[in-house]
Structure 1
Amino acid sequence: MKKIVPLFLLLFCFFGRAQSEFEEGITALKAQIKNSEGSQKLMLLDSLSRYITSQRSGYNFDSITRATIELAYELDSFAIGLASTDDLIFFHANRSGTPEEGIKIFEEFKARNHEESDKRMLAKLYTNAGDAYFFSGKLEASIPVYNEAEKYALMANDSSRYAIARTYKAGAYVDQGDYATGSQLLKETALLFTKLNDTVNILMSRGSLANIYGKIGFSNEAKKERDELIRLAELTKNYYSLIPNLYNASLGAKKDGDLELALQYLTTASDYSKGMENKIPANVVVDYALLTTHSQNKDLVKAKEFYELVKNKYGNLTTIPFEGEYLHSISEYYMAIGAYDKAQKAITKKLNIYLEAKNSQGIYEGYDSQAKVSEAKGDYKTALLYSKKYNAYQDSINGVKKALGVSYYQTLYETEKRDFKIQEQATEISLLDAKNRIKSQWMLFGGIGLVALFTIIYLFRSNKFARTKQELQEQFSQDLIKEQEQERTRLARELHDSVGQKLMLLTKQTKTIGNPNMENLADNTLAEIRSISRGLYPANLERLGLTESINALVYDINSNTDLFFTEEIENVDNLLSKDAELHLYRIIQESLNNVVKHSEAKAIEMKVNKVSDGISVLVKDNGKGFDFEKKYKNLSLGLKTLYERAKILGAKIDINSQLAKGTALRLTIPI
């Protein structure tokens, strides 16, 4: 790969001159490729295809990139093959307007084993493949592809790529009429892009939300949002956002019956798109929309001009980009000039495409067009049939779906207004603009409000119950520890006062017998009982105080192990209650025991200091450490006890451990 850098420098120097020199350079490089082989040929092909796509379209980008892909897989250079496949799918889905070709390339790619590849690149490739299905009208099929893109983005820890895939998936849901799911996804991605400070994608997600406002009837809010987006996109010269938003604004104006405003938006979009041929897919549909709008305005001169442009530019291609939109635009022209048979033929073909793709918007627009052309031909029976289909389909998609999703839209709109500082009260959006709404809509809003209220109450009660349950669990754990300490104290006293005294008498009696073995057994048993008693309850706490008890504990471990101790223990007597002193002692005791038993450490650093508002404790070792994240998910009994004792003390505990780097426990106890 190191050879690619000078090759690119050569390309930029060589092609950075006049147009003719650029073409001559391409020819020369192709000759060089023809005379090379193996990895050298692969690098030349890869550099050529990337240089062409970075400079301009054309120059056989498709065939050059395909050759690069095949050679890359032949040489087992999967990274280059994967990147080139992604470039080619993107080119067909988002540049050339031939998404069906992108699907074919993606299907060929899936036949290869790619599971062990770069997950970030796979996320990008699957997102572009989802776009290929989306722009082909296969909305339902695009969703599982976007899901795969999300999966790979999560595996790569790429939040931006994850949010982009979810945004595009939201578009597929919305275009199928599932506004509720689409809006929820857009709400999530808008927050993600805001956290990432991703201006480009913030514009994209807000544009998608504006489309939803338009689809559910909030036309004023949709227009205000789009006008703001257009202004921001113009300021930042973000034409990839500007042109689609101008196009969508024209659709909103058309829906409101303002064809003049729609034409202004489209003309502006067309002006911006000049010189960006094949770089923005919306350029194609802008041409279609201009033909449609001029035809509907009965401006036959302009309509004919755009009909010739659309027919010659796109109609003769093997695969017509966005064929449904193409057929719609020419059918509107045929309607305008009275060629009703041609119009009906185009409409029928368009309707079949949208029915196959399950595109709800295209389906009911197709029914409406069929009704209009049948009426124009005098076939009123057929016109009535399609009119009924249109009304029924529109009611089912834009009525029921909107009703189910409207609570999401209100919440989403309020959030967007607040986050992006739009100067209106979000709670008044639908009410202030609902002057001509029928009474049934008021009932609908009221019903949804009640459902929302009950949901809030339910969530509040569930949250309160969960908190109460957690508090009871914590109290139970703390009470259990207290009971354990009391039971330990009782057992320690029993062992000392009863069993210990009897063993002491037994020891004295064995000495009178004169049997050394019996004497040793009795002495060892007495020492063991005393050790167990001290473990159950540290009597030193009462006799010596907390500070000396800690010193004694450190001395005991230091004298009985090979560990090297560095200690700094200040006098902390009488700063805590007796119960609190016992809990602190137990925490230090458990921590040191863990080091001795598990850490394989060579040295321990032990600090107990008085600070301005409490006591600070540090127990640090240089042992093998452990994976704290994994351990934390399944806490051992010892660690659970440490945390519970810290809660009883009202202390802050922090355990930091890394494999092969040791463990440090820090405890801060307020006084």
Structure 2
Amino acid sequence: MLFYRLFIFSLFAIIFMHSPAKANNPDSILSVMSNSGISFEEKYALLADIQTLQPMEQIKILSEFLKESEVRKNNRIICEIYCKIGHSNLFLGKMERSKMYLDSASLYMKKIKDNNTLGLYNYIWGDYYNMTLDEVRSHQFYYKAIGHYEKSSQNNKRIIDIFSNIAFSYIQKGDTENLKIIIDRLTPLVSKSKNISSDVIYMRIKSYYYGLLYNKSKELKPVRAYLDSAIIYGERIINFYETDNSHKLYPEDIAYSYIALAGNYLMLDKRDYNRINTLTDKALSLSSAVDTTMIVNCLWIKGQSLRGEGKTEDAEILFEKQLAIMQKWSISENLVMYADLYKTLSEVNLLKGDYKQAFLYNREESEYRKQILDNDKYKIISDLQTKYETDKKEQRIRLQSYIILFLACLCISIFIGAFFVFRWQRLNKNIAKKQQKIIKLEKSEAKLQIQNESDKEEIQKEQDEFVIQLNNKIKEFLKYCPDDQRRYLEKLEAVDRDSIFILKGKGLKKSRIQYCICFAIGMKKEHITACYNIADQTIRKNRSKIKGDLELEKDDDLDIYLIDLFMLKYS
């Protein structure tokens, strides 16, 4: 008996159809949307708060906001609103109306490049085809949505929901290999999300995964560890809910975890029927009164429990009730649920000796099994999974290639840069040595001239005046920068004053000699302009003329020349 696989419909149901535990006041939000005194941006921000409202209430609010969006002709927001209205109609089971809004959203898609909006559009189309049982198209849209959301890196929770819906297909078919790939994809996303509802989704899928492994192991030798793992994850979910003080978990959602756990306990060799019935009753009490999916699940568990206790006739009554409810469903059929139910009814009728009815039920089961195991369709779905994984690997390989190429270019650039820096430093060193030799010769010549001059004292007095004048200007005009002022004065005291005679001998005017001393002691341009009340342009002009007067070459550095001339240290 495949007790376990009945409950997989709940995975899809809870992702899309949970009712809110706490909802905002829809009337107050609706009044805000119709209030012309509130900005469009504020109204748009308020849409984030309507996700906990009932679908019909969401549709009213979104429709009101859509009017203003169309007036403003904001294509991205119009497309987003159409998608969300379509999604809400999907929850209500209004498939045609949902498709109508999604088709309207399609009209705006060509002009949209925002990955979040593109992701939302493909995600909701994926939900639409999922609920219409077109798994191939559903998966195509889901993987497109994941691609856009991964580029935006802002919708981690939405990616988790999409992977959960994809997992539903693999759970339904018992495909543990592809389900394991989805679990591996979910693991880093869930750990990063730090969201309790994402943790619950992840644990629920893991519970289903181990339950499926246990069912497969029964074909040879049952591996009890798989079933134990499935039960452990189920118990963890219930423990999460019962200790959740934040009230972020919906009772209607957790109800399915209770019923799934009851199903796992039902697979044990030694069954505690009291525990199973307690879990089933708890699930029913937490669920919505109109949730026929939960009612069907509870009838199934109670029927199997009665059957295990040998009460076959009572069990058959519950199974017949279950079938009657399922035949009224109009949203989507759960193929595995139908197949397992028809199989159980066939077995019950065999025990009763009603072979004709047993045969009819068996034939119905076969029809549903064929739909589940549509190999051509499932191959396409598996290929989509493979393509997604291959694309991810190719992206990683391309990224690694780009990194290697970048590092290679960086190394070459560093090598070339180092080569030119070395050459430049060597050239500067040679220039500095040449300048120092020239300066020494000039100083020797200047000292001889000073010794021969009859007015030697007059020359030294004039040299001192240059230094004193600059000293006074620095003290007077640079009080606002005491650190720079102190540094300039210290360097000014250390200048070789005989060098002033060399500059004078080269025909430099007094003002330019003053500028040379300023350049030599490393004065900043703005400080020179403050001391001499001149413009920046005047300094640049005098620099050029001083270089010409000193007969320096184009590549020679004036500052280095003057520092060497005045025998100062480089700073």
- What residue in structure 2 maps to residue 309 of structure 1? 282
- What residue in structure 1 maps to residue 146 of structure 2? 190
- What residue in structure 1 maps to residue 373 of structure 2? 398
Match runs of 1:60-71 below 5 Å: 61=23, 64-70=25-31
Q: Deviations over 1:44-96 (max 9, x none)?
A: xxxxxxxxxxxx954xx45x322441474376869599659956762245xxx
Equivalents in 1 of 2:328, 2:396: separation in Å? 39
Taking only aligned residues, the RMSD between alpha carbons, in angstroms, comes to 4.1
1:412 counterpart (388, 396, 411): 388
1:116 counterpart (71, 75, 83): 71
Give, in angstroms, the shift of residue 306 of structure 1.
Answer: 1.9
Secondary structure at the counterpart of residue 115 of structure 1: helix
- What residue in structure 2 maps to residue 248 of structure 1? 205
- What residue in structure 2 maps to residue 570 of structure 1? none
AA partner of residue 278 (structure 2): E
AA partner of residue 152 (structure 2): L
Structure 2 vs 1, CA of residues 328 and 209 (structure 1 numbering), >3 Å: closer, same or farther?
A: closer
Equivalents in 2 of 1:310, 1:216: separation in Å? 25
Equivalents in 2 of 1:326, 1:123: separation in Å? 37
Give, in angstroms, the shift of residue 407 of structure 1.
Answer: 3.6
Equivalents in 2 of 1:111, 1:194: separation in Å? 28
1:158 aligns with 2:114: yes
Equivalents in 2 of 1:153, 1:284: separation in Å? 38
AA partner of residue 191 (structure 1): G
Secondary structure at the counterpart of residue 177 of structure 1: coil
Structure 2 vs 1, CA of residues 163 and 365 (structure 1 numbering), >3 Å: closer, same or farther?
A: same
Contact kept, 8 Å, 1:124 with 1:149, in 2: the verdict is: yes
Equivalents in 1 of 2:42, 2:357: separation in Å? 53
Structure 2 vs 1, CA of residues 143 and 374 (structure 1 numbering), >3 Å: closer, same or farther?
A: same
AA partner of residue 293 (structure 1): N
- What residue in structure 2 maps to residue 264 of structure 1? 232
Structure 2 vs 1, CA of residues 406 and 172 (structure 1 numbering), >3 Å: closer, same or farther?
A: same
AA partner of residue 91 (structure 1): T
Secondary structure at the counterpart of residue 303 of structure 1: helix
Q: Deviations over 1:403-424 (max 9, x none)?
A: 4544434323333455579xxx
Q: Deviations over 1:192-228 (max 9, x none)?
A: 2232234444444444444455556642232243145
Equivalents in 1 of 2:174, 2:279: separation in Å? 31
AA partner of residue 26 (structure 2): T
Higher RCO (C-alpha 8 Å, min separation 6): 2
Give, in angstroms, the shift of residue 372 of structure 1.
Answer: 1.0
Structure 2 vs 1, CA of residues 177 and 367 (structure 1 numbering), >3 Å: closer, same or farther?
A: same
- What residue in structure 2 maps to residue 328 of structure 1? 297
Structure 2 vs 1, CA of residues 142 and 349 (structure 1 numbering), >3 Å: closer, same or farther?
A: farther
Equivalents in 1 of 2:205, 2:75: separation in Å? 34
Contact kept, 8 Å, 2:296 with 2:326, in 1: the verdict is: no
Structure with greater proportional helix content: 2
Listed as ranges, the gaps of 5+ residues in structure 1 are: 1-55, 94-98, 422-671
Give, in angstroms, the shift of residue 392 of structure 1.
Answer: 1.6
Equivalents in 2 of 1:187, 1:218: separation in Å? 18
Give, in angstroms, the shift of residue 185 of structure 1.
Answer: 2.0
1:372 aligns with 2:348: no
Structure 2 vs 1, CA of residues 146 and 344 (structure 1 numbering), >3 Å: closer, same or farther?
A: same
- What residue in structure 1 maps to residue 180 of structure 2? 223
Q: Deviations over 1:563-611 (max 9, x none)?
A: xxxxxxxxxxxxxxxxxxxxxxxxxxxxxxxxxxxxxxxxxxxxxxxxx
Equivalents in 2 of 1:67, 1:74: separation in Å? 11
1:343 counterpart (318, 322, 326): 318
Q: Deviations over 1:319-376 (max 9, x none)?
A: 43xx32442234322331344255225422442244x21x24x144124214414533
Contact kept, 8 Å, 2:300 with 2:319, in 1: the verdict is: yes
Contact kept, 8 Å, 2:66 with 2:78, in 1: the verdict is: no
Contact kept, 8 Å, 1:215 with 1:398, in 2: the verdict is: no
Structure with greater proportional strand content: 1
Structure 2 vs 1, CA of residues 135 and 242 (structure 1 numbering), >3 Å: closer, same or farther?
A: farther
Equivalents in 1 of 2:263, 2:203: separation in Å? 16
Equivalents in 2 of 1:406, 1:268: separation in Å? 31
Structure 2 vs 1, CA of residues 133 and 122 (structure 1 numbering), >3 Å: closer, same or farther?
A: same
Structure 2 vs 1, CA of residues 240 and 104 (structure 1 numbering), >3 Å: closer, same or farther?
A: same
AA partner of residue 290 (structure 1): L
Equivalents in 2 of 1:380, 1:296: separation in Å? 27
Match runs of 1:488-567 below 5 Å: none
Determine which structure has more spread, i.e. the larger CA radius of gyration.
Answer: 2
Structure 2 vs 1, CA of residues 232 and 194 (structure 1 numbering), >3 Å: closer, same or farther?
A: closer
Equivalents in 1 of 2:62, 2:390: separation in Å? 42
- What residue in structure 2 maps to residue 283 of structure 1? 254
Equivalents in 2 of 1:420, 1:115: separation in Å? 41
Query: What is the TM-score when the length of structure 1 is the normalising length?
Result: 0.44
Question: How many residues are treated as equivalent by the alignment?
Answer: 350
- What residue in structure 1 maps to residue 478 of structure 2? none
AA partner of residue 270 (structure 1): I
Counting aligned pairs with the same residue, the percent is: 14
